[in-house]
Amino acid sequence: MRRGITILALGVVGAVLAYYCFYVLGTAKPRAWLGNQQPELAWLKHEFNLSDSQFARISQLHEGYLPQCKERCRHIEELNNKLMKAIGATTQITPGIEKLLADRARMRADCQAEMLKHFFEVSRTMPAEQGKRYLAWVQAQTCLHEQTMNHTQAGESNHHE
């Protein structure tokens, strides 16, 4: 009886050890990404098979892009606030509101253009095939990919972007 129990216990301990070993080995990559200062860039390096030099260049581009992006976001936020105030103060469209809408649209267009410029720069830094894949991926994931208009479900009177 004791021998049988020992064998069973050995099996259970072995199972736990095997689980742990495979889990630790299998999660080595994600743990390395998360241990990085910029985990999302570490993931990008893995996902698009970047060399160290390509990764360094892309990190540099990323670091350069972020402050400008934040500044544009801040500007858009200001315009949003102004627009909300202007809309709240009247019951009809005014030249001021029209200007704010145009400014905000222009600012958003600038923002998207800069974003696309950044994506092109990043994709050019990657190997050609990976660059293509990256561009297709960011286009699908970001606001560059507008949602399709749909008049049929919401009815003709409601317009949704």
Partner 1 sequence: MNTNQPGHEDEPLRALLKEWKATPDLPPGFQDRVWRRIERAEAQPIISVPLSTVWRNWIAGVLPRPALATACVAVFLAIGATFGWAQARHETERVSSDLSARYVHSVDPYQAPR
Contact footprint for partner 1 (CB under 8 A): 1, 3-5, 7-8, 10-12, 14-27, 29-30, 33-34, 39-44, 47, 62, 65-66, 69, 73, 108, 111, 115, 118-119, 138, 141-144
Mention every residue, 6+ apart, whose C-beta is less than 8 A from residue 51: none
- Minimum Å gap between C-beta 82 and partner 1 is 18
- Minimum Å gap between C-beta 156 and partner 1 is 25
Q: Return d(Cα 79, Cα 9) in angstroms, integer.
A: 68
Q: Return d(Cα 111, Cα 16) in angstroms, integer.
A: 52
Q: Which is nearer to partner 1, 58 or 100 (CB)?
A: 58
Q: Return d(Cα 50, Cα 29) in angstroms, integer.
A: 15
Q: Which is nearer to partner 1, 5 or 157 (CB)?
A: 5
Q: Return d(Cα 63, Cα 158) in angstroms, integer.
A: 41
Q: Which is nearer to partner 1, 28 or 93 (CB)?
A: 28
CA gyration radius for the chain? 26
Q: Which is nearer to partner 1, 49 or 90 (CB)?
A: 49
